[in-house]
Structure 1
Amino acid sequence: MKKTPLRTCIVCREKKEKRKLIRIVRDKENQTVFFDKTGKANGRGAYICGSDKCIEALGNVKMINNILNVNVKKEDMENVKEDIKKYLKEEVLN
């Protein structure tokens, strides 16, 4: 039997299966943060669960900067939050 990889949500600290979490990645080259739909993009990653509370906590830029070791702008994190919300809506519709 194969082990299922577990990851921890950076906001609520719950451990869940990797594929049930949302991955946010810091691009090493140009120091940007983006939502990784595939879960396989290169760069340092952090995971959040899909709850509204955890998604809204992404507005806390200081937390993201510490975890991903980057200086991201609040506007950029708002774009990431919107991308995640769109993705979750698409998943519900399909």
Structure 2
Amino acid sequence: MKVKKIPLRMCTGCMEMKPKKELIRVVKSPEGEVSVDLTGKKSGRGAYVCKNAECLEKAFKAKRLSRNLDVVIDEEIYNRLRNEIENE
């Protein structure tokens, strides 16, 4: 029986490779709209953050999410990410 490969993605906060299921995806749609993608299936350019407040703060301070998605990210998106992490 074949072993199923687990997809890994890099967290923009701690810069560690982790399983995709353990991360939250932020996606920039082809129209340039930025949103939080909890399903991981929206079309567009994605960046990932751990479900950890420290990683989110590191990504926010270093502006890594903005750089990865080539767009300025509103405070609203960061607030939504904080709420998702706190509710986990």
Within a 5 Å distance, the mapping from 1:55-70 to structure 2 comes to: 55-60=56-61, 62-70=63-71
Contact 1:26 1:33 (8 Å CA) reproduced: yes
Larger relative contact order (Cα-Cα within 8 Å, sequence gap ≥ 6): 2
Matched, 1:83 2:76: no
Runs of 4+ in structure 1 off by over 4 angstroms are none
1:52 Cα deviation after fit = 1.3
TM-score, length basis structure 1: 0.76
Q: Shift in Å at residue 20 of structure 1?
A: 0.4
Structural RMSD (CA) = 1.9
**Residues 11-26 of structure 1 correspond to what in structure 2 (within 5 A)?**
11-26=13-28
- Structure 1, unpaired ranges of 5+: none
Equivalent position of 2:55 in the other structure: 54
Aligned length: 86
Equivalents in 2 of 1:8, 1:81: separation in Å?
Answer: 18
1:22-81 CA distances to partner (integer Å, 9 max, x unpaired)? 10101111x1221111111110001111221221234347433321122x15xx1x2112
SS at match of 1:23: strand
Contact 1:58 1:81 survives alignment (8 Å): no
Distance 1:56 1:28, change over 3 A: same
Aligned to 1:39: 40
Identity %: 41
Give the gaps of 5 or more residues in structure 2: none
